[in-house]
Every structure is written in structure tokens, then in C-alpha cells.
Amino acid sequence: MDTQACPHPSAPSALPPSPDGRGNLPPLDVLSDFPAIPAGWHYLDSAVSAQKPRVVIDAIERGYAQDYAAVHRGVYQRSADMTLTYEAARKRVAEFINGKPEEIVFVRGATEAINLVAHSWVSEQLKAGDRILLSVLEHHSNIVPWQLVAERIGVEIDVVPLTDDGRIDLDAMAAMITPAHKLVALAHVSNVLGSVLDAKRATEIAHSVGAKILLDGCQAVPRMPVDVAEIGCDFYVFSGHKLYGPTGIGVLWGRYDLLDAMPPYQGGGSMIDRVTFAKTTYAPAPGRFEAGTPHIVGVVGLHAAIDYVESIGLERIHAHETALVAATRERLSRINSVRLFGPEDSAGIVSFAVEGVHPHDVATILDESRVAIRAGHHCAQPLMEALGVPATARASFGVYSSMADVEALGEAVERVTRIFG
């Protein structure tokens, strides 16, 4: 295999030193790896999409400028090399979450992954009168596909409430789940509150009545280690662009026996075994779910992104972001007119409101101070209704974030309160 076709990204250019004698890790210092973050700009919107490290950008550039060829088609050397690169990325993704390569389906993002399951598994396995269990804090992408299923085949949807501090209430889930529930779909980490699901317990509750469980891992995989074998779930989905990778690429992991029994989601090239006008037979999973020419270089970029975060260490990243969350909550709590949402130990995300100020105005004024946050309902309108607000302001962190970002956020929010009196 041509080694240029499957480059292994280097470690971060500013990888932090080893722990000190007391076991404490110094803050991460990798900002120089991210060319799109200029000096003095405080990017606190990683939950919507993470900035890209130079190694990912370089891998994408090489993929198009030096190594590019279609995969799974050509017999010439370049195509064969790129096919090996593509499949090596599948293996890398599987290792990343402790799955198997044949259980990894490349899709455009988590939204498509959920829709794939809704179309190909739920539509085949559920019937009128069956039930699906969601939670109050789900992203619209983990609500609307199931509503479409409900409208199409007549299943019912139930909703698990939250605890007072914004976690999915697993005691309530255990009390309300029944054998009529055939699927549970929950966020591993809330994109608004940062609350972390006890995924293993949620899985055990689902399996206790014979239900399958899908976990939305978009906010989890950039922030903490994920082991689907340890969790025991049935489907797991995430997007590449939140994991410091490119847009337009995502992952569906599913137990192979489930994937193997599912019909195709789309028809086209690559996903077939043999086509005649009388009958078409399909490739085994995961190929049957990857119709058409895939996002080849997106897969290469995702491989580089996974190598990058694991060169730092997901435990290290989680500890770094947890410290920033704690500092942010402490800093904003000093401002009397600020209301904080979610648990104290949220993962990399802090949502808040400033009394008497719409979150859009908060975000606009913060932008004047070169602090970039998200404001709105964050594709979680049922959660906003439960919180009793139309929207929130949200600061979310990444490996490049620092205490300087926290202080800049605090100073900018204080400016908001002065402007609005």
C-alpha cells in the first residue's frame, strides 16, 4: 500500500507536559494547532461545530491534492490505495468506540444515521400500537424522525422527564417503560445542558423489557471515551464535524445482527450484490447502506480527527472541559441577573440566560467583545418549553478553549448587564 495514501497525523504541536508529582494535569495548550482561531477571538460554540486542527486540514488537502481516486471501483493502483485508506478509516472509527469494522456505516451525519435506523429498522420491526421512548432534552434530530415513523405506521411516543438538575430521569424511565416499548432513543450528552446520561443503566432499563436502544453521541464522542461494548447499546450515532473533523461525514454504529437484517435505506451504486430487471440483491452490511460515491475525503479527515483527539487523550479532554465548565459556572454565578441551566458537572457546555435580555441580544453584544457563543433554542424546543424560556445563551468548549475564554465571557456578560441596566 502507498503510505502517502494513508497519512498518520502527527501529534498536537503543543501537546501538554506530563502530570506533575501530585497527579495534576496542566491545562491544554493546543490553540496553535487551530489556524481558524485568531488571537483575541474567543470561540465558545464547539457544541454546534468544532474548529479543525491543522492535521485534519492537511489530511483533507492531501486527500484531494495528492491521493484522490474513487473507492471500491478501480483496479488501478491509486484507486486500490484509496480504497485501503477508506477501509482503514472504518477500522479506526470502530476502534475509537470499541466496535467492529463491519458495524460502522458512513453517513452524512448523525441526523442521517438516525433517519436510517428509523427507516430501515423501525419501519420493519415496529407495528401500530408499539411505543418509542424519548426524553425531554432530545435534539430535534432525535425527535422528528420518530414522529415521522409514528405518523406512517401508527406507533406511539412517550417522553421521559428530567431531574431537577437537568438529567434524564432514569428512575422515571424505569417506572414508565413497558414491553410495548420497542425502541428507546436518548442523547448521551445533552447539547443544551451538557448533562451526561448513565448510558449503561439506560441500556439495561431498555433491555429489561426487550427494547432496543439508540444513543445520540454527537456531544459525547468529542468529550469523553465511549465504549459501545461496555455500554451494551444497540445503535450509536455521531457526526464528524463536532469531533474536529470535516462536515458531511458521520457514523452509524449498529450491532451487526441488527444491521444485517435491515433493508437498504437508499438504492444505487455500491450497495448491490447483483442487479437485474427481475430482481436485485444487496451487499452485506455495512455496504448496503452506503449507496453511491461516498464522502471519501471526509472519511480521511475523520480518521485524522480521531487520531488527533486520541493523541491528546479523551480523559484529558474531559478533565480540561470539566474544569472550564466549573470556572464558567462560578464566574457567571457572580452576576446576579444570570440564570444557569443544567447540572454542575455538565460536559463541556454551559447554558444561561440574562434576566430581561433576549439570548440573541446577549450573543450580539458578546460578539462585539469577540466572544462567539450560540443563542436560540438549539434545536431543542421541547426542552426550552420545559425550562420555561424561549431560548438560552450557550457557551461550549473544545480542546483549544482556555481560562482566558472564560474570563472574556464573564466580562462580556457583565457588559450586557450594564448596557441593559
Q: Which residues are catalytic?
A: 379
Q: Residue 4 CB: number of other CB atoms within 10 A?
A: 11
Whether 69 and 78 have beta carbons less than 8 Å apart is answered as yes
Quote the DSSP letter at residue 35. T
Grid coordinates standing for 359?
439570548
Give burial (CB, 10 Å; 0-12/13-18/19+) of 270. Answer: middle
Measured CA to CA, the distance from residue 407 to residue 356 in angstroms comes to 22
Q: What are phi and psi of 292, to 5 degrees?
A: 80, 180
H or E element that contains 213? strand 212-216
In which residue are the cell numbers 439506560 written? 202
Beta-ladder partners of 45? 396
In which residue are the cell numbers 493502483 written? 77
Measured CA to CA, the distance from residue 245 to residue 303 in angstroms comes to 8
- Decide: helix, strand or coil at residue 353: strand
Grid coordinates standing for 10?
502527527
Beta-ladder partners of 33? none
CA distances (Å), 202 to each of 70, 155, 195, 207, 389, in order?
Answer: 41, 21, 14, 9, 28
Measured CA to CA, the distance from residue 136 to residue 139 in angstroms comes to 9
Using omega within 30 degrees of 0 as the cis cutoff, is the peptide bond preceding 390 cis? no
Whether 375 and 416 have beta carbons less than 8 Å apart is answered as no
